[in-house]
């Protein structure tokens, strides 16, 4: 068998189908918008992402799964046009509100899903997809990012396949199967004739700044799905005796994947 025989897009889909990941719809992301807007834009993650971008010769940027504008808004001052695309209305509203607060008049939003028709999505010099590529059909998603970029593409995708630290899963007594991680993307890009650069960004996971146990349990449930009374009980008993470092868990790791057209 050679690597040419492997359909990595199909493997990714098959892998995703085996997970019991709680699929998030737009309304679930709507509920996260205010919290993300207050934190994501000033985060070390955003600094790390932006520090790896090259805007030379670029006038426009498309930010796919833009959320509250974490990446697009941070570089909008250096560009003529920034388009934020997301299927969550509340995320787009947060992006527009933040753009107004920053007195940016070159920011537009586009209410759209990865899965919908993209014929009117503008081509831009730079295309980014930050932490927003957990989609059913990653091959089509990568082809779309590639087609919409004139100069460069930047994306981040999960390393290791777990949104909840496996140590916390063990505490609760529920094992969540991994979601497909970045290695599929590299292989699909290779098949597309793209030879991407690879780097990594690590940052504190979302549990780190939980203010109390209820907040901690809510954050665990966001990525694992609702916890039953027994699971909450186990988590609470562990939380009471855990050190601050144990509560914080291991950092989130993202693969930073970029390529030139």
Ligand X SMILES: C[S@@+](CC[C@H](N)C(=O)[O-])C[C@H]1O[C@@H](n2cnc3c(N)ncnc32)[C@H](O)[C@@H]1O
Interface with ligand X by CB under 6 A: which residues?
Answer: 29, 40, 65-67, 70, 86-88, 91, 113-115, 130-132, 135
Considering the complex, state which of residue 231 and residue 249 has its C-beta at the smaller distance from ligand X. Answer: 249
Residue 87 C-beta: closest distance to ligand X, Å = 4
Considering the complex, state which of residue 24 and residue 191 has its C-beta at the smaller distance from ligand X. Answer: 24
Considering the complex, state which of residue 63 and residue 231 has its C-beta at the smaller distance from ligand X. Answer: 63
Q: Which tokens go with 178?
A: 């991994």
Backbone angles phi, psi at 90, to 5 degrees: -65, -35
Residue 131 C-beta: closest distance to ligand X, Å = 4
Residue 60 C-beta: closest distance to ligand X, Å = 17
Contact 235, 220 (CB under 8 A): yes
Residue 183 C-beta: closest distance to ligand X, Å = 20
Considering the complex, state which of residue 88 and residue 139 has its C-beta at the smaller distance from ligand X. Answer: 88
Per-residue buried b or exposed e for 161-197, using 16+ beta carbons within 10 Å of the residue's own CB:
bbbbbeebbebbebebebbbbbbbbbbbbebeebebe
Considering the complex, state which of residue 141 and residue 232 has its C-beta at the smaller distance from ligand X. Answer: 141
Q: Which tokens go with 120?
A: 């009117």
Burial of 244 (0-12, 13-18, 19+ CB in 10 A): exposed
Q: CB nearest ligand X: which residue? A: 67
Q: How many CB atoms lie within 10 A of CB 72?
A: 29
Residue 136 C-beta: closest distance to ligand X, Å = 8
């Amino acid at each position: 068998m050679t690597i040419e025989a492997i359909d990595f897009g199909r493997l990714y889909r098959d892998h995703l189908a085996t997970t019991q990941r709680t699929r998030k719809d737009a309304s679930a992301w709507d509920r996260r918008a205010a919290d993300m807007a207050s934190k994501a834009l000033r985060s070390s993650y955003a600094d790390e992402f932006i520090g790896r971008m090259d805007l030379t010769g670029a006038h426009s940027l498309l930010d796919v799964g833009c959320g509250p504008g974490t990446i697009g808004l941070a570089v909008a001052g250096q560009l003529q046009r920034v388009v934020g695309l997301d299927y969550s209305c509340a995320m787009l509203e947060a992006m527009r509100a933040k753009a107004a607060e920053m007195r940016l008049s070159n920011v537009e939003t586009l209410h759209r899903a990865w899965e919908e028709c993209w014929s009117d999505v503008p081509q831009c010099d730079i295309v980014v997809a930050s932490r927003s590529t957990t989609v059913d059909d990653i091959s089509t998603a990568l082809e779309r990012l590639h087609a919409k970029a004139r100069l460069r593409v930047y994306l981040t995708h999960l390393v290791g396949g777990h949104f909840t630290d496996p140590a916390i899963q063990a505490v609760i007594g529920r094992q969540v199967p991994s979601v497909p991680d970045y290695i599929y993307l590299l292989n699909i890009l290779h098949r597309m004739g793209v030879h991407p650069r690879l780097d990594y960004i690590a940052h504190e996971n979302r549990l780190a700044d939980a203010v109390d146990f209820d907040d901690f349990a809510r954050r665990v449930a966001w990525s694992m799905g609702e916890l039953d009374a027994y699971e909450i009980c186990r988590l609470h008993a562990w939380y009471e005796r855990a050190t601050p470092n144990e509560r914080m868990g291991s950092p989130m790791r993202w693969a930073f994947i970029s390529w030139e057209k």
